[in-house]
Amino acid sequence: MFKKGNRFLLCRGKQRPMDGNRHLHTGMSRTSFWLGLLIFGAICVFSTKAFAVTFPIPSLELNVTRATEPEEIAVVLEIIALLTILALAPAILILMTPFTRIVVVFHFLRQAIGTQTSPPNQVIVGLALFMTFFIYKPVALEIYNTALNPYLEREISYEKAFEEAQKPIRKFLLLNTRETDLALFVKGADLKRPQTREETSLLVLIPAYVISELKTAFIVGFVLFIPFLVVDMVVASVLLAMGMMMLPPVMISLPFKLMLFVLVDGWHLLTGSLLKSFGV
């Protein structure tokens, strides 16, 4: 009993210093916490003042007031027109430029070779986008020189600038639109047949141009599929003759198709053909 008591007393004696150290560390940690918080608050206050002096933030106010001059109404209408154009920018890029034909042909090429994710979609869309800028550059420069720049210089009115901007766009669309597709939409819209090409409305010309581009892209895709289809058929026939029916022909034909495409410099030929296929 005595030994057990001594042990018990010894254990308690060992625990007392530890408890004192725990309280000491706790007090020091609390002091450090409050000291760090005080320093952090001082830094935030002084840094806020410094930033407020060095980097002033401008204020923004939106007011709705009554217009007193016609120029003020014209500015508001210009802002609304600009926002409308920005909202329709993706549709304009896809439906009124060579982007549709180029991106569809590139997707057909990837499927014909058999590489489902190479090149990736980002690369295909990026290449199609820059090729679109390259092809459409003369049209954009003509729009800038005849419509946008004179309007910004206050030389022509808004209506005149819009009319001048339509001319190069209409010219480009007419050069790349089939007569049958154009006649289809003219008849569907129940409009009189225009006497001249310049009288064709963009509301009729744009959808006719889109289906013409899709038809051309599908024709190019068909031509692209033929040599790769021949390679697939030859590989499948050889594997069948060797009795390797369980081996997928795609695994064997894919390297041969890639080698064929590289040897004939396929990217150069395809890109050059696409650039020459557009009339500007």
DSSP string, 116-164: SSSS-HHHHHHHHHHHHHHHHHHHHHHHIIIIIHHHHTTSS-HHHHHHH
**Beta-carbon count within 10 A of 214 CB:** 14
What are the tokens at 4? 């057990």
Which residue, 109, 116, 114, is CA-closest to 224?
109
The string of pLDDT tens digits covering residues 111-139 is 888 887 888 889 998 899 899 888 888 88
Segment 179-184 shows an average pLDDT of 85
Which residue, 85, 132, 124, is CA-closest to 107?
124
Residue 51, pLDDT score: 45
> Chain-wide mean pLDDT for the chain?
75
pTM: 0.67
Residue 17, pLDDT score: 45
Tokens 């600009």 sit on residue: 82
- 135 lies in some domain: yes
- Contact indicator for 196, 170 with CB cutoff of 8 Å: no
Peptide bond into 58 cis (omega under 30): no
| Residue 7 banded pLDDT, cuts 50, 70, 90 | very low
- 263 lies in some domain: yes
Count of helix runs (H) and strand runs (E) in the chain = 11, 0
| Residue 211 banded pLDDT, cuts 50, 70, 90 | very high
- Contact indicator for 260, 231 with CB cutoff of 8 Å: yes
Instruction: Specify the length of the chain in residues.
Output: 280
- 254 lies in some domain: yes
- 221 lies in some domain: yes
Tokens 């007419």 sit on residue: 174
Residue 218, pLDDT score: 93
- 78 lies in some domain: yes
- Contact indicator for 113, 250 with CB cutoff of 8 Å: no
- 82 lies in some domain: yes
Can you say how many angstroms the Cα of residue 167 is from the centroid of all Cα atoms in its chain? Answer: 28
Q: What's the number of domains the chain is made of?
A: 1
User: Which range (99-108, 139-148, 170-179, 199-208) has the least confidence?
Assistant: 199-208
Q: Is the dihedral of CA 77, 83, 85, 88 positive or negative?
A: negative
Segment 132-155 shows an average pLDDT of 86
Segment 15-32 shows an average pLDDT of 49
For the cut 50, the answer to whether the pLDDT of residue 20 exceeds it is no
Phi, then psi, of 117 in degrees rounded to 5: -125, 15
- 30 lies in some domain: no
| Residue 180 banded pLDDT, cuts 50, 70, 90 | confident
Residue 40, pLDDT score: 56
The CA–CA distances, whole Å, from 15 to 2, 6, 10, 29, 194 equal 20, 14, 9, 21, 104
User: Which range (63-77, 84-98, 213-227) has the least confidence?
Assistant: 63-77
Residue 157 CB partners (closer than 8 Å, separation 6+): 151
What residue numbers bound the domain in which 178 lies? 71-276
Question: SS3 for 23?
Answer: helix
- 220 lies in some domain: yes
- Separation between Cα atoms, residue 19 and residue 11, nearest integer Å: 13
How does DSSP classify residue 256? H
Residue 238, pLDDT score: 84
